[in-house]
Structure 1
Amino acid sequence: MILRYEMSDMGLLHHFLGMEISQDENCVFISQKKYAENILKKFRMHGCNPNDTPLVVNQKLKKEDGGRKVDASVYRSLVGNLLYLTATRPDIMFATSLLLRFMHNPSHFHLGAMKRMLRYIQGTIDHGIKYSKNSDLKLFGFCDSAWGGCVDDMKSTSGYCFSLGSGMFSWVSKKQQSVAQSSAEAEYVSASLATSQAIWLRRILEDVREKQEGGT
């Protein structure tokens, strides 16, 4: 195209919409380290002690927990920042999706869970997604559900992720729209959501001449 149009060659892409992109002849690594550092500084958590997990295991958060109410604007700002961080951090997708549910009237329990997530980010600030050059371009998908995980309405949570080659590129964690009557029903709903995404991804790959043979 440079022969036909007036263009400037600025070299390899290294930043895009807050994402850092490192490229060499063998792989591409995408992360949001600087963005994550800015979040920690913005909310005065830079240099905090790290946690190994984004949430406390088996902790049940609910809308009306009797806790002291906190500034909703601060909570919403933090949730919005973390939501954008999930662009390269599928490991915080479930926790962020969960904490999104309490934006209307957050308590100090919700804010405490949010700060725990910031501690997790502090300890995993170098995490990102690596796409290797010589990886087999086979589409793999995984899905799961958490039956009745929402204390307020007993709705379940669906989640899926898809990888192509060496890295994930599509993931979701969201509350189901109806109340599942059994864990099997919750799994079927989650599988249906993942199947719809798999069909769409396979068609996209076929359009770019990477048709998938066999099942996903």
Structure 2
Amino acid sequence: MDIKSAFLNGYIDEEIYVEQPQGFIAKDDLIYTGNNEKMIQDFKEDMMKTFEMSDLGLMHFFLGIEINQEKEGIFMCQRKYTETLLKKFKMESCKTVTTPLVTGEKYQKEDGSQKVDGSIYRSLIGSLLYLTATRPDIMFATSLLSRFMQSPSQVHYAATKRILRYLRDSDWAGSVDDMKSTSGYTFSLGSGIFSWASKKQATVAQSSVEAEYIATAAISNQAIWLRRILEDIGEKQEEPTTIYCDNKSAIAITKNSVQHSRTKHIDIKYHSLREATTRGEIELKYCSTEEQLADIFTKALPRNKFEELRMKIGVCHKHIKGEY
């Protein structure tokens, strides 16, 4: 719905002026949704009685995101945004690649190559981060390269441009500097994923088991937060949220409250995972590395594996009708 004369519906006697802050965009469009047709119709009629507004029908475009609503589901993409991004950085005719990162490449702060304009690099990273709203397949690559925004080099800039080359083709312990591992996760509800991230861990893990345990603890905090949101909207989860982990030893730590020499140094804040499993909010299950969807958020993968996981997390070809 489009609200006419937005911000000008107040009853006042004096003149007022509104200055739009730099970097902000005024929007007068309203989106609404629900699973009860009568409630939706009543809401629309009440709003139109109160404000001068027009019904624009089904949503097709919002905040740079294109939406296609069909019987088999709702599909979202940022095709126009991607095309604009490619033109902005003069990459609309670039040679394409099939993955956003080179497998086995190690990036570090001081790599010996020439430094590049930091403002351009930061602008590109920021643009890519917004694109991850509908492109989880570039989440890891963008998150990894965002670590070098303070002093980017030619190597870093070339890697970010590779992401653009990958995007053009898609019309269809990893840190060397501080040896910190990367945590990645994705949450699904129904047939699609709705929350994902790729982040460098705050502490240096002394083993792969510890890295997995720290990552799982952080993911459990996100899971509990999401459970609270679902409860607030009337969808309380009676069963525990299942988290799949591909490290049996990390799972074993959560089931053993005894401090061993190999685990006593782990920060106590990460042991909240044990409490969450005891309360029945979280359930850890083992899955093999080959079945771990979160791998697409933690490392650069070979093409075949990358495309397999990309399909499984729901990134697919879908033609969005119309131009906006």
Pair in the same fold by TM > 0.5: yes
Aligned with residue 98 of structure 1, among 144, 148, 155: 144
| Aligned-pair CA distance for 1:26 | 3.1
* TM-score between both structures, scaled by the size of structure 1: 0.85
| Aligned-pair CA distance for 1:110 | 0.7
Task: Show the counterpart of 1:181.
Answer: 206
| Aligned-pair CA distance for 1:213 | 4.6
Contact 1:149 1:156 in 2 (8 A): yes
Task: Show the counterpart of 2:253.
Answer: none
| Aligned-pair CA distance for 1:42 | 0.7
Q: Any idea what the Cα deviations from partners look like across 1:95-130, whole Å, max 9, x if unmatched? A: 00111011111111111111111111111144xxxx
The answer on 1:85 being equivalent to 2:126 is: no
Task: Show the counterpart of 1:195.
Answer: 220
The change in CA–CA distance for 1:74 and 1:5 in structure 2 (over 3 A counts) is closer
Greater relative CO (CA pairs within 8 A, separation 6+): 1
Q: Which structure is larger by alpha-carbon Rg, 1 or 2?
A: 2
The answer on 1:61 being equivalent to 2:107 is: yes
SS at match of 1:5: helix
SS at match of 1:22: strand
The answer on 1:3 being equivalent to 2:49 is: no
Distance 2:217 2:68 in 1: 35
Contact 1:67 1:108 in 2 (8 A): yes
Query: Which protein is richer in strand relative to its size?
Result: 1
Distance 1:119 1:204 in 2: 37
Aligned with residue 180 of structure 2, among 155, 161, 170: 155
Distance 2:106 2:77 in 1: 30
| Aligned-pair CA distance for 1:5 | 3.3
Paired positions, count: 195
* TM-score between both structures, scaled by the size of structure 2: 0.58
The answer on 1:170 being equivalent to 2:195 is: yes
Kindly, what percent of the aligned residue pairs are identical? 62
Distance 1:162 1:28 in 2: 18
Distance 1:101 1:198 in 2: 25
> Runs of 5+ in structure 1 lacking a partner?
127-147
> Runs of 5+ in structure 2 lacking a partner?
1-42, 243-324
CA RMSD of aligned residues (A): 1.5
